[in-house]
């Protein structure tokens, strides 16, 4: 039940919009914090295009500033903080009705051999 995130990159910034209904509610009339973290993880995954070396989430730190309302268009903006070898550090903000509701910093690490070297896990069938 992934949140409906629409992301794109323009110049040196990444942007997204998202609107979460009642299925994503945590506190009364607010989006659950875990869903906000999932939105940021998905969004910064797209924003990695700014660093030109896709990787997987190493960490995601989320700050919750205000309740993020359900059934409201959310606007996200993200930017490249820096790259260090295979590491890409990005930051982002989430706003509802121009009010900052959450911000984040994420570290994404490109696997040795590049993202195409990642293979599917061999999972036993039940």
Q: 99 in a domain, yes or no?
A: yes
As for how many domains the chain has, the answer is 1
Q: What integer pLDDT is reported at residue 126 of this predicted model?
A: 73
The answer to the question of residue 124 being in a domain is: no
* Per-residue pLDDT tens digits for 22-71: 999 999 999 999 999 999 999 999 999 998 888 999 999 999 999 999 99
Does a structural domain hold residue 20? Answer: yes
Whether 122 is in a domain gets the answer no
Looking at residue 81, its pLDDT comes to 97
13 is a domain residue: yes
Residue 50 sits in a domain whose CATH number is 3.10.129.10
Q: How far apart are CA 89 and CA 53, in angstroms?
A: 11
Range of the domain at 9: 5-115
pLDDT of residue 75: 98
Residue 125 forms part of a structural domain = no
Task: Specify whether the CB–CB gap between 64 and 101 falls below 8 A.
Answer: yes
């Amino acid at each position: 039940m992934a949140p409906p995130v629409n992301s794109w990159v323009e110049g040196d910034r990444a942007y997204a919009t998202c609107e979460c209904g009642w299925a994503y509610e945590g506190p009364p009339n607010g989006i659950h914090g875990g869903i906000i973290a999932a939105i940021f993880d998905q969004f910064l995954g797209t924003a990695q295009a700014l660093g030109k070396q896709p990787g997987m989430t190493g960490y995601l730190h989320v700050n919750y500033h205000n309740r993020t309302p359900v059934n409201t268009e959310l606007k996200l903006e993200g930017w490249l903080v820096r790259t260090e070898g295979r590491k890409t550090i990005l930051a982002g903000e989430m706003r509802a009705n121009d009010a900052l509701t959450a911000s984040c910093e994420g570290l994404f690490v490109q696997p040795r051999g590049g993202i195409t070297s990642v293979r599917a896990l061999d999972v036993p069938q039940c």
